[in-house]
Amino acid sequence: MKLNLDRYADLSSPIHRWEMRSKFVGLLALIFAFAFVQKLVLLPAMIFVTVLLFVLSRLPLSFLLNRLRYPGLFIAGVVMFLPFLGGETILFHLGGIAVKEEGCLAVLLIVTRFVCILTVSLILFGTAPFLSSIKALRSLGLPGVIADMLLLTYRYLEQLGETLGTMQRAMQLRGFRRDLKRDLPSAVRGNRRNLSQLAGLAGSLLTRSYEQSERVYHAMLLRGYGHSRQTPKPLLNQHNTTSFVGLGLILFVAASFAIAEIFLPATRIFSG
C-alpha cells in the first residue's frame, strides 16, 4: 500500500514553486467550489481548469491514473445503477432495462466532480513533500494532534500494506485459493470458505494495526510526547509575487464557479 503522494515533489513547475500556505488556501477553495457545482453547463469549465492545473504541475499522467484506480472502482459501484433507476425520460432499452436520461446526467455530474476534485487534491499533496504540507496545515491553524495523526497514518499505511501482503502470501502457501473453477456447489462452498478466511484476515490485520498503534503511542510517551508546551514555529516567509498572483487567480476562479452556480438558470436533473 505505497501511497508515495510526494514522489514527484522535487519537480520544477509553477505549482511546485507556489508557497505552501497560499497553495492550500487557493486549491482548497477551488475544491469546495467544485463540490458545490450542480449545473451541467459548468462541467466543461471544471475540466478545463483541472487539466490546466495538472499540466502546470508537470506531474506524470501515470501518477494520476494509478491513484484514480481504486477510488474510481468505488465511485463506479456507487453510480452504476443511476442510469436505470433515476429519472423518467427513457433514452433506450438495454436488454429489457430502460436507460434514463436523468440518471445518465447525474452520473456525468458525479463522475466529473469526483475526478476533478481528486485530481486537484493530488496536485495539492503531490507537488510538495508531505511533511511540508503538514507544516503548512499547522501554520494555518490545524490542531497539533490531528497533524500528528495525519503524519503517523501516512507513515504506517505503507507498513500496514506490507503486513497485508505477507499475510496473503502465508495464506496462499497454506492452500488458500481465491478463484475456484469447479462445479457450482463446490464453488459456492469454496466462496463461503474464502469469505470466512478473508474475514479472519481482516480481523487479524485490524488487531495487529491496533496493537502497533498502542506500541507507537507508548514509545512516543516515553520520549516526552505531549509534555512540550512550545508553540510550533511558523513557516519561513516564502511569499513572492508569483504566489500572490496564483492565489488571487485561483480564488477568482473559485468565486466565479460559486457565483455561476448561484445565478445561472437551474438544471433540473431529476423531475419530482
| Rounded Cα gap, residues 173 and 171, in angstroms | 5
**230: which 3 cell numbers?**
512550545
CA neighbours closer than 13 Å in the CB half-sphere of residue 38: 12
Say what the pLDDT of residue 91 is: 73
Burial of 227 (0-12, 13-18, 19+ CB in 10 A): exposed
Please list the ranges in the chain whose pLDDT falls under 50.
Answer: 180-189, 234, 236-237, 271-272
Say what the pLDDT of residue 185 is: 44
Burial of 247 (0-12, 13-18, 19+ CB in 10 A): buried
Say what the pLDDT of residue 268 is: 53
Say what the pLDDT of residue 184 is: 38
Query: What pTM was computed for the model?
Result: 0.75
CB 235 within 8 A of CB 135: yes
Burial of 99 (0-12, 13-18, 19+ CB in 10 A): middle
